[in-house]
Chains A and B, each alone.
Chain A
Amino acid sequence: MQLTHEEQNVLNGEEGPGKQKAMEILVALGKIYNATRLFPIKSVQVAGVSYNNLGDAGLEFLQQWANQNAKASVPAMLNPAGMDLKNWQNQGITKQFAEKQQDVIHAYTQMGIKPDCTCTPYLIGMQPEYGQHVAWSESSAVTYINSIIGARTNREGGPSALASAIIGKTPYYGLHLQENRQPDMLVKIKTDLKNSVEFSALGYHLGKNYPEKIPYITGIKHATQSKLKALSASIVTYGGPPLFHIENITAEAKKKTVKKPEKQNMIDEKDIKKAIQEINDSGPIDLIFLGCPHCSLEELEKIALLLKNKKVHKETWIATARKTMERAKHKGIIKPIETSGAKVVCDTCVAVTPLKGRFHGLATNSAKACYYSRGTNALHCMIGSTEKCIKIATEENNEC
């Protein structure tokens, strides 16, 4: 890899050990992926925030790096943390966990990173433009901005995203290059996908059956942001690449900068039903979770409407970015949710908060939430539409 004179100086440690470490990480990745050079980026989103995943090792590492005076040189935000940073008691988090989590956040803010903890930075003011190069970590956000917006990012790990934030550059390889953004296969959808769950199911089917193949999807006439968000989260969770194209809908398909492949695969109603069946476990539900990825204002509005004048009889969490919650509060959307007994939780999500042993069965509208709740929190999961999840939450006399 070719480094400029300045980059070489940083690598040699002339600007301190914090920047040196960041440069070493970027150069190592560049070597592994045969990048020829580093390339400037406009923003960074860093994963590796929840203390539940980081543990003491991750926390110590972040503190050490922060103490080496490493500072972000481009705008940067964080992935969800292991708890609501303000109302963690509301979530049943222990004081011990909360303190460790605050230490993680403190290390990041010391490095100049905004403590906005969300998987949807593009909904709260960090929205890249078409063709812009960035270095983001969170898989659903990476997929959303690559596909829907046409920004360019690889799926960064926590330390590599942080290294990019410090240096302001990323190795130039993978999805930063036009030739790697071309679709590998044509997929025709022969059924009307009705809601976010069915878009999730499409993502599951594609990821599972065609791992790492970039699809060019036809047959979808219309898709709301909410549905595209669901597809972005699920395709990459289940093995697909962090990029897809949909005819007349996604950025590069609209601009025709990608070529429609010839060989065609069909997806019909049966495939979608089978996917939903495979995502579902059976068993009693004791937690309802909506907001993976974090709810948009529109999604909160819908949930508020469904919960209006109702009471929830099971623990119900609605997750969103703090800034989205504040906007919703201003519009009077939060009150009907909280009056029902449901909790609006910010900064966190079901995949990264400690729930193991506290809850056993999850109902959610997100295929991604199912995957990670099983893995991290040993929950059995049921996927259903927002309406169905709210129905389960508000039903009385359920035997569980």
Chain B
Amino acid sequence: MNARVIKHGTAKGKALVSTQSISFFGGVDPNTGKIIEKGHSLEGKSIAGKILVFPCGKGSTVGSYIIYRLKKNGKAPLAIVNKESEPIVAVGAIIAEIPMVDQVNINKIKNNADVIINGEVIEWKN
């Protein structure tokens, strides 16, 4: 299916799906790539090397820099897929050069699905 491109690029990998929004500042450890927000459905899971699928970002705008730092530390996701993106994660993806698309029906993507992103085209196999 076709998505909206936020940061152009290609990626191929396993999906890590969250039904909850993600705050990168305070919610993700920039050194390990692990979700550290208490009570988050992905708490303790690492986003490194995954196609990270979640509805949208939340929290402080410092989150954009955390995404950049994850990339520098080699702990960033391969790509980001949002239902409807907002500026914190969008800016983070651009400055960290992580492919990102949104306006995707993310409910249909299951955890561990094989996902391929190529520009505005996203495909997955659950």
A and B found bound together: yes
Which residues from chain A sit less than 8 Å from chain B, CB to CB? 21, 24-25, 28-29, 31-32, 47-48, 53-58, 60-61, 65, 157-160
Given contacts A31-B6, A60-B72, A160 and B91 within 8 Å (CB-CB): yes
Contacts of A32 in B (CB 8 A): 6, 85-87, 90
Q: Are B72 and A21 in contact (CB under 8 A)?
A: no
- B33-63 interface with A by 8 A CB criterion: 61-62
B30: interface (CB < 8 Å): yes
B83: interface (CB < 8 Å): no
Q: Are A61 and B95 in contact (CB under 8 A)?
A: yes
Chain A nearest CB, measured from B92 CB (Å)? 9
Contacts of A57 in B (CB 8 A): 30, 65-66, 68-69, 72
Contacts of A25 in B (CB 8 A): 91, 94-95
Chain B nearest CB, measured from A325 CB (Å)? 28
Q: Are A157 and B4 in contact (CB under 8 A)?
A: no
B88: interface (CB < 8 Å): yes
Contacts of B90 in A (CB 8 A): 28-29, 32
Contacts of A31 in B (CB 8 A): 4, 6
Rounded to whole angstroms, the CA-CA distance of A276 and B64 in the bound complex is: 34
18 interchain pairs, CB-CB under 8 A: A28-B7, A28-B94, A31-B6, A32-B6, A32-B90, A48-B62, A54-B62, A55-B62, A55-B65, A57-B30, A58-B68, A60-B68, A60-B69, A61-B68, A61-B95, A65-B95, A157-B61, A160-B91
Shortest beta-carbon contacts, A-B, top 4: A57-B69, A58-B65, A157-B61, A57-B65
Given contacts A57-B69, A157-B88, A28 and B62 within 8 Å (CB-CB): no
Identity of the chain A residue whose Cβ is nearest the Cβ of B91 in the assembled complex = A159
- B78-98 interface with A by 8 A CB criterion: 85-88, 90-91, 94-95
Q: Are B72 and A157 in contact (CB under 8 A)?
A: no
Q: How large is the interface on B (under 10, 10 to 19, 20 to 34, 35 or more residues)?
A: 20 to 34
Chain B nearest CB, measured from A124 CB (Å)? 24
Identity of the chain A residue whose Cβ is nearest the Cβ of B67 in the assembled complex = A57
In the complex, number of A-B residue pairs with CB atoms less than 8 Å apart: 63
Rounded to whole angstroms, the CA-CA distance of A158 and B65 in the bound complex is: 10
Tell which of B4, B86, B90, B95 has the most Cβ of chain A within 10 Å: B95
Contacts of A53 in B (CB 8 A): 62
Q: Are A54 and B65 in contact (CB under 8 A)?
A: yes
Contacts of B95 in A (CB 8 A): 21, 25, 61, 65, 159
Contacts of B61 in A (CB 8 A): 47-48, 157-158
Chain A nearest CB, measured from B90 CB (Å)? 5
Chain B nearest CB, measured from A358 CB (Å)? 22
Q: Which of B6, B62, B69, B88 is within 8 Å of A56, CB to CB?
A: B69
Q: A29-B87, A55-B69, A57-B30 are in contact. List 13 more A-B contacts (CB 8 A).
A: A21-B94, A28-B6, A29-B90, A48-B62, A57-B65, A57-B72, A58-B62, A58-B68, A60-B69, A157-B61, A158-B61, A159-B64, A159-B95
Rounded to whole angstroms, the CA-CA distance of A158 and B88 in the bound complex is: 10
Rounded to whole angstroms, the CA-CA distance of A53 and B25 in the bound complex is: 10
Tell which of B30, B65, B90 has the most Cβ of chain A within 10 Å: B65
Chain A nearest CB, measured from B24 CB (Å)? 10
Tell which of A21, A25, A57, A58 has the most Cβ of chain B within 10 Å: A57
Identity of the chain A residue whose Cβ is nearest the Cβ of B100 in the assembled complex = A28
Chain A nearest CB, measured from B13 CB (Å)? 22
Q: Which of A28, A47, A56, A65 is within 8 Å of B91, CB to CB?
A: A28
Q: Are B87 and A61 in contact (CB under 8 A)?
A: no
Q: Chain B 82-124, CB within 8 Å of chain A: the 1/0 string?
A: 0001111011001100000000000000000000000000000
Identity of the chain B residue whose Cβ is nearest the Cβ of A58 in the assembled complex = B65
Chain A nearest CB, measured from B7 CB (Å)? 7
Identity of the chain A residue whose Cβ is nearest the Cβ of B25 in the assembled complex = A53
Rounded to whole angstroms, the CA-CA distance of A55 and B61 in the bound complex is: 13
Q: Chain B 1-35, CB within 8 Å of chain A: the 1/0 string?
A: 00010110000000000000000000000100000
Tell which of A21, A25, A28, A47 has the most Cβ of chain B within 10 Å: A28
Contacts of A160 in B (CB 8 A): 87, 91
Rounded to whole angstroms, the CA-CA distance of A56 and B72 in the bound complex is: 11
Rounded to whole angstroms, the CA-CA distance of A61 and B68 in the bound complex is: 7
Rounded to whole angstroms, the CA-CA distance of A54 and B68 in the bound complex is: 11
Q: Are A157 and B91 in contact (CB under 8 A)?
A: yes
Chain B nearest CB, measured from A351 CB (Å)? 13
Given contacts A28-B94, A31-B4, A157 and B65 within 8 Å (CB-CB): no
Contacts of B85 in A (CB 8 A): 28, 32
Contacts of A159 in B (CB 8 A): 64, 91, 95
Chain A nearest CB, measured from B93 CB (Å)? 8
Identity of the chain B residue whose Cβ is nearest the Cβ of A11 in the assembled complex = B8
Chain A nearest CB, measured from B74 CB (Å)? 13
Rounded to whole angstroms, the CA-CA distance of A157 and B61 in the bound complex is: 6
